[in-house]
C-alpha cells in the first residue's frame, strides 16, 4: 500500500493537478491534511477535486476560518482577506463539507492532523526540534503526518535517541522509532523551493519520501491577480516563501 499525502493546497489548482498527476501511478490512495482552500484563486475546484479523489481529509485552520468555526481575529490581515474572499466563492454545500471534516484521524498506524496532534484546534506550528519532540505523547500511532508550516521535515524518537531533520527528503521508518513528518505544502511552499511538495508513504517499504513537482506557476499567479486577491499572494509563489 502506498499513500500520497497532501497538505496546504490553498486553492492552487495548477499545483494540485500537477501533484495528483505525479502521484497517480505511484500511490494507491490520496490523503489530505487540510488547508485545501485560502490564498489561491480556485477554492471551489480544489475542494471538489479533493472531495472526489481523497480517501481521507482532515480540516485545517483555513477550513475552520472559512466555515465560521475559527474567529477571523486569529488570522493576519492578508490571510483574513483571503478567508473572506474564499467564503464568498463557496456555496452552502461546500461550506457544509468543510465543516464536516474531522480535526484528526488515525489510519494504518498513522495519525493525520493539520497542525499538531496536541490540541489540534489550537493550530500550533511545529518548527523547532523541541516543538516536534514535545508532541510524541499526544498520539498513539507510529507515525504522525502534519502540514501547516508549509515546510517539509521530520522528527523521530526511539531507543537510539531523538532526531530532527528539517527539509528531510527520504525517511526510512526504522523498527522501534516513532515519527512526526511534515509533508510540506502543495500550493504555497515556504522552504525556498517553489515546486509543489507532497509525501509518498510506502507501507511495505517502510519509507516516506518528500516529492517536489514543478507546476504552471504563471497561471496560478495570473488567476490570483485577476481575482483581485492581494498581489503578495502571487508574488510569493516563485520565491517559495
Nearest to 190 by CA among 236, 130, 142: 236
**C-beta of 65: minimal distance to Zn ion in Å?**
11
Alpha-carbon torsion angle 82, 76, 103, 141, nearest 10:
120
61 vs 111 by CB, closer to Zn ion: 61
146 vs 208 by CB, closer to Zn ion: 146
Answer yes or no: are the C-beta atoms of 131 and 153 closer than 8 Å: no
Q: 3-class DSSP state for residue 225? A: helix
> Which residue's CB comes closest to Zn ion?
35
173 vs 181 by CB, closer to Zn ion: 181
56 vs 157 by CB, closer to Zn ion: 56
Answer yes or no: are the C-beta atoms of 76 and 82 closer than 8 Å: no
Q: Which residues contact 43 (CB under 8 A, 6 or more apart)?
A: 11, 36, 37, 66, 86, 89, 90, 94
38 vs 132 by CB, closer to Zn ion: 38
**C-beta of 9: minimal distance to Zn ion in Å?**
9
Grid coordinates in use for 62? 483555513
Kindly state the helix (H) or strand (E) to which residue 17 belongs, with its residue range. Answer: helix 13-24
**C-beta of 7: minimal distance to Zn ion in Å?**
7
**C-beta of 177: minimal distance to Zn ion in Å?**
27
The binding site for Zn ion (CB under 5 A) comprises: 8, 35
**C-beta of 187: minimal distance to Zn ion in Å?**
8
Amino acid at each position: 500500500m502506498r499513500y500520497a499525502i497532501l497538505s496546504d493546497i490553498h486553492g492552487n489548482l495548477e499545483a494540485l493537478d500537477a501533484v495528483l498527476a505525479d502521484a497517480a501511478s505511484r500511490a494507491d490512495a490520496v490523503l489530505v491534511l487540510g488547508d485545501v482552500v485560502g490564498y489561491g484563486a480556485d477554492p471551489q475546484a480544489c475542494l471538489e477535486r479533493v472531495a472526489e479523489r481523497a480517501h481521507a481529509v482532515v480540516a485545517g485552520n483555513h477550513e475552520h476560518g472559512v466555515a465560521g468555526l475559527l474567529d477571523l481575529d486569529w488570522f493576519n490581515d492578508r490571510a483574513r482577506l483571503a478567508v473572506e474572499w474564499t467564503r464568498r466563492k463557496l456555496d452552502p454545500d461546500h461550506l457544509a463539507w468543510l465543516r464536516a471534516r474531522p480535526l484528526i484521524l488515525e489510519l494504518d498506524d498513522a495519525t493525520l492532523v493539520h497542525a499538531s496532534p496536541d490540541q489540534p484546534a489550537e493550530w500550533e506550528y511545529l518548527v523547532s526540534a523541541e516543538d516536534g519532540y514535545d508532541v510524541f505523547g499526544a498520539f498513539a500511532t507510529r507515525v504522525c503526518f502534519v502540514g501547516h508550516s508549509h515546510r517539509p521535515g521530520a522528527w523521530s524518537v526511539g531507543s537510539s535517541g531523538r532526531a530532527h531533520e528539517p527539509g528531510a527528503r527520504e525517511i526510512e521508518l526504522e523498527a522501534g522509532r516513532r515519527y512526526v513528518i511534515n509533508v510540506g505544502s502543495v500550493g504555497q511552499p515556504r522552504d525556498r523551493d517553489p515546486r509543489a511538495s507532497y509525501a509518498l508513504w510506502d507501507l511495505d517499504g517502510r519509507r516516506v519520501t518528500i516529492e517536489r513537482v514543478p507546476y504552471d506557476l504563471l497561471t496560478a499567479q495570473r488567476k490570483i491577480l485577476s481575482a483581485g486577491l492581494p498581489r503578495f499572494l502571487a508574488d510569493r509563489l516563485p520565491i517559495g516563501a
